[in-house]
Structure 1
Amino acid sequence: MKGSLTLRVSLAFVLIVAASAAGLGLYLYHAFTGEIVRRDEIALRGKLRQVQQLLGTPDAQTLLHERPQYFRDTMSGQENALVRIFDAAGRLLLDINPLDERYPVPLLAERVEQTPVVAWTSRAGAPAQVVSGSARLGGQPVRIVVARVYADRTAMFARYRRQIVLACGAAAVLAGLLAFLMLVRGLRPLRAIAAHAALVRPGRLDSQLDSAGAPSELQPLIGTLNAMLTRLHDGYTRLSGFSADLAHEFRTPVNNLLMQTQVALAHPRSQREYEELLASNVEELERLSRMVDSMLFLARAQQEDVVPVRQLLSIEDEFARMAEFFEGMAEERELELACAGVGSVQADAQLLRRALANLLSNAIRHAHPGTTVTLAAGVHAGWTELTVTNQGDPIAASDLPHLFERFYRADASRGAGSTGLGLSIVRAIMILHGGRAEVRIAPGTVSFVLLFP
């Protein structure tokens, strides 16, 4: 499971739980031991008061000489209880010390509650505490020292520490197991997505991931993947259609070249016939060359790193340039060219001229003889509009959405000599400029519009 997300998260969860449990255990341990020590101090001061009260009884001197162990019995009769009593001159009147311990004598205080409790360590290494106080024995002042060795406390704390360690370890292991099971179950939708994605094939890009039952955290991922599949499906469909169209478009001129050449070679021909064949072949080859050039341009235009070199261009000058270039073609079709509009536009000069040339050649080719093809410019809603309008046969409404598609011809009978890529190139040029191309239909006229932001 190297590199497994489930394993890594489970281990991280184990470490987090172990650290949290250890911190909690450490806090509880210190709170518990602190409380035990505090209670022992209170109990030790209480034993000091008991001895003080006992010394204040009438028969205290008799007990001190005849029954000294009675004072230890006052300390609950435990052998780890130590009692010393000194007179005013510092002579030792009573010394109950079965363990022969050496321990300090703390300072006296006026009140027992203010008497400091001094901690020390026994000869066996066990923790111990001692407290001192004053009393009167037979009317004479005496000093009491009460101490206690807590060997049982050390063992109890050790057991408590072991229990905390075992509890932390068990909590970490249990947390790791639960985290693993939860992740295995929680990542089930991701495994389902992976299984579904494995079924995606070039011919099955329309298959969408099912978001039903998926947690809300995965909904954006599923939506993004479905959108990606949709884009891939659209791109694959366009590419498949484009490949089919390209094969179809290339097949016609290639078949023409092949058939004409085969017919010419079937029998001896005159020089003039060979020249006519070569001229016809040149026309087909030129058409193929234009098609290849257009395809290369469209392929480059789709690259994200292609950036047009924009400059401020005079619309009037560009229209005049186009009109002069297409003047001869318009005369052949008995058409007039008219230019209207002034101003400027930020655009790549070569790309703008290519777009206008494609629109103008298309307009001249489809205009009725004796009419006028108009180039106009204007500004509308923040867009600079360059319009090429002609008067020709109306375009069917069903053809309008497809006019800018590759190899699409609204009227195939009038597409002779056309590659079917002119309007696609226009749209690609406008996309590069951050604009768009539109077609507008009015009674008796067709207008193609270039909109620059």
Structure 2
Amino acid sequence: MLCPLSLTTRLATLFSLLVAGLLLLLGLSLEHLIRGHFDDIDQMELTAKLSMIENLLARADSPTALDTLPRYLDDVLTSHANLSVSIRDEAGRILYAHQPEFLAPVKNGDVSPPSARWSVASHEFIGREVQQYLPLPVPAPVQVLLGLDITHHAHFLEDIRRYLWTGIAMAALLTALFGWLVARQGLAPLKRITATASRLSAERLGERLDLQATPPEMLELANAFNGMLNRLEADFQRLSEFSADIAHELRTPVSNLLTETQVALSRPRNSEEYQDTLHSNLEELERLARMIADMLFLAKADHGLLPNPAESVHLEQEVAALLEFYDALAEEKQVKMQASGVATITGDRLMLRRAIANLLSNALRHTHAGGTVTVLIESCIDAVRLSVRNIGDTIPSDQLSRLFERFHRADNIRSHHGEGAGLGLAITRSILKAHGGEITVSSNDGVTTFSLAIPHAGTQALSRWA
């Protein structure tokens, strides 16, 4: 199997072929012009020589003049070594001949106007045959055949052709060489991209291309490549943190299970003590089960595997049911809850209820005693907005963009037993994405507000996403 040519070789080859084609066209045109120019010169010279001979024949107006005609012709043609002349009478007898051996290939009547071309002993000739009447008392017709040696022009054209094609071949080779060098230099940024990509590893994701040394034609590619590296580095960092968070979150309940089981088995115990241990283990197992279920939900959301039923969801009813569910917890924390607004959308009722429940649970957890959790439902032109507002500690601005990351808590504390694993807001964002909506958060002066924006055509967005 033939190896594909490199891009540098392809560019150099195409460039050299283009230049060679242009030079070939120029050479053919130049040769045609030179040949035409020489043909015009030869025809003009042939006409002039023929006129000279016709003038001499016009003087043969008597038998005496006719007898002296060969001598005059010899005197004139002696200085014209490139001419061959043959004069015949009506019967075909030769009246005069000058270098007739060069006229041997031409027989009477073979010369077609305006001229003929032939070769004799490596000599090139053009010729013309005309009929003229001698001005005798009784006009006598004669056939004049004139041949002009154009070998020097033919040799010149051969030299021109040889030098021209040799020059074109050399120019094509030089063009290929310089084109290869130029293409190689021009494609150097691609080699730098390749070198940078080859150096990438999990420990070296900070490599970037130097945009200052990148030509404008490849600046967009270099920017895209650097942007890809930025995203890879950020995603790899998040993946590393995610892996560490998973290990941390799983280590605590597993460690608790292991410790309590070892303690229970350290000595004989009665049934009530074993039941207490089992109840404690059950709490940890339920915590593990919730965490695994949440992670499975997020995995399905990432791959578009969430269900997408089309049902009408009355948000005010779902909020009322959730407020009633969390009423006991709110009373225990001395927190008030209130809701206002009415709106109906189309989507998955259970998923939307879970998203709102996550926000309410999060708000109750972080609301100070005596505070109020407010739920506001608004129906706008393009979407339905549901806001959950609570009064508590202000979330630092640098933490707001990370609230929806998995296993992230604004206080970055992992040791609070019983609290969530930090997946609730990530799940809420996935549910909103599945419905074609978005979730935003703001926190100022102790007031934190989570806002859900859900399009009216929630089911269509959910279908497209899934």
Q: Which of 317, 321, 325 matches 1:324?
A: 321
Instruction: State the secondary structure of the residue aligned to 1:81.
Output: strand
- 1:20: how far off? 3.0
Per-residue CA deviations over 1:229-256 (Å, capped at 9, x if unaligned) read: 0000110111111111221111111111
The one-letter amino acid of 2:316's match is: F
Q: Which of 85, 89, 103 matches 1:82?
A: 85
Bigger drift between 243-252 and 45-54 goes to 45-54
Indicate conservation of the 8 Å contact 1:340/1:375, yes or no: yes
Change (3 A) 1:188 1:336: closer
Indicate conservation of the 8 Å contact 2:19/2:175, yes or no: yes
- 1:123: how far off? 5.5
Change (3 A) 1:32 1:174: same
Indicate conservation of the 8 Å contact 2:125/2:150, yes or no: yes
Indicate conservation of the 8 Å contact 2:310/2:346, yes or no: yes
1:243 aligned onto 2:243: yes
Aligned partners of 2:307, 2:113: CA distance in 1, in Å? Answer: 89
**Unaligned segments of structure 2, at least 5 residues:** 456-466
Partner in structure 2 of residue 432 of structure 1: 434
Instruction: State the secondary structure of the residue aligned to 1:204.
Output: coil
What is the identity percentage for the equivalent residue pairs of Structure 1 and Structure 2?
35
Instruction: State the secondary structure of the residue aligned to 1:212.
Output: helix
Q: Which of 428, 447, 452 matches 1:450?
A: 452
- 1:307: how far off? 7.4
The one-letter amino acid of 2:87's match is: R
1:43 aligned onto 2:45: yes
Partner in structure 2 of residue 110 of structure 1: none
Aligned partners of 2:395, 2:351: CA distance in 1, in Å? Answer: 29
Change (3 A) 1:379 1:333: closer
Instruction: State the secondary structure of the residue aligned to 2:81.
Output: coil
The one-letter amino acid of 1:225's match is: F
Partner in structure 1 of residue 181 of structure 2: 181
Bigger drift between 183-192 and 370-379 goes to 370-379
Partner in structure 2 of residue 313 of structure 1: 312
Instruction: State the secondary structure of the residue aligned to 2:180.
Output: helix
Change (3 A) 1:350 1:328: closer
Bigger drift between 202-211 and 427-436 goes to 427-436
Change (3 A) 1:119 1:440: same
Partner in structure 2 of residue 252 of structure 1: 252
The one-letter amino acid of 2:78's match is: D
Indicate conservation of the 8 Å contact 1:373/1:388, yes or no: yes
Aligned partners of 2:14, 2:364: CA distance in 1, in Å? Answer: 73
Partner in structure 2 of residue 393 of structure 1: 392
Indicate conservation of the 8 Å contact 1:83/1:145, yes or no: yes
Matches within 5 A, 1:210-229: 210-229=210-229
Partner in structure 1 of residue 24 of structure 2: 22
Indicate conservation of the 8 Å contact 1:338/1:374, yes or no: yes
Aligned partners of 1:294, 1:83: CA distance in 2, in Å? Answer: 115
Per-residue CA deviations over 1:394-414 (Å, capped at 9, x if unaligned) read: 333344343223222335487
Change (3 A) 1:62 1:204: same
The one-letter amino acid of 1:64's match is: L
Change (3 A) 1:410 1:2: closer
Corresponding pairs, count: 439
Partner in structure 1 of residue 6 of structure 2: 4
Indicate conservation of the 8 Å contact 1:308/1:432, yes or no: no
Partner in structure 1 of residue 460 of structure 2: none
Q: What is the alpha-carbon root mean square deviation over aligned residues?
A: 3.3
Change (3 A) 1:443 1:160: closer
Per-residue CA deviations over 1:283-317 (Å, capped at 9, x if unaligned) read: 111111111222222233233x5577374633xx2
Aligned partners of 2:325, 2:71: CA distance in 1, in Å? Answer: 146
Matches within 5 A, 1:295-314: 295-303=295-303, 309=308, 311=310, 313-314=312-313
The one-letter amino acid of 1:24's match is: L
Per-residue CA deviations over 1:142-186 (Å, capped at 9, x if unaligned) read: 554423343444444333332233222212222222222223333
Aligned partners of 2:71, 2:446: CA distance in 1, in Å? Answer: 139
- 1:434: how far off? 3.5
Indicate conservation of the 8 Å contact 2:337/2:374, yes or no: yes
Bigger drift between 132-141 and 271-280 goes to 132-141
Indicate conservation of the 8 Å contact 2:105/2:118, yes or no: no
Indicate conservation of the 8 Å contact 2:316/2:342, yes or no: no
Instruction: State the secondary structure of the residue aligned to 2:203.
Output: helix
Indicate conservation of the 8 Å contact 2:366/2:393, yes or no: no
**Unaligned segments of structure 1, at least 5 residues:** 108-114
Indicate conservation of the 8 Å contact 1:387/1:449, yes or no: yes
Partner in structure 2 of residue 102 of structure 1: 106
The one-letter amino acid of 1:132's match is: V
Q: TM-score, normalised by structure 2?
A: 0.82
Instruction: State the secondary structure of the residue aligned to 2:326.
Output: helix
Indicate conservation of the 8 Å contact 2:125/2:147, yes or no: no
Indicate conservation of the 8 Å contact 1:377/1:386, yes or no: yes
Q: Which of 78, 87, 94 matches 1:73?
A: 78
Partner in structure 1 of residue 356 of structure 2: 356
Q: TM-score, normalised by structure 1?
A: 0.84
The one-letter amino acid of 1:313's match is: S
The one-letter amino acid of 1:396's match is: I
1:128 aligned onto 2:123: no
Partner in structure 1 of residue 232 of structure 2: 232
Aligned partners of 2:311, 2:86: CA distance in 1, in Å? Answer: 108
Partner in structure 2 of residue 111 of structure 1: none
The one-letter amino acid of 1:5's match is: L
Change (3 A) 1:106 1:132: farther
The one-letter amino acid of 1:425's match is: I
Change (3 A) 1:307 1:141: farther
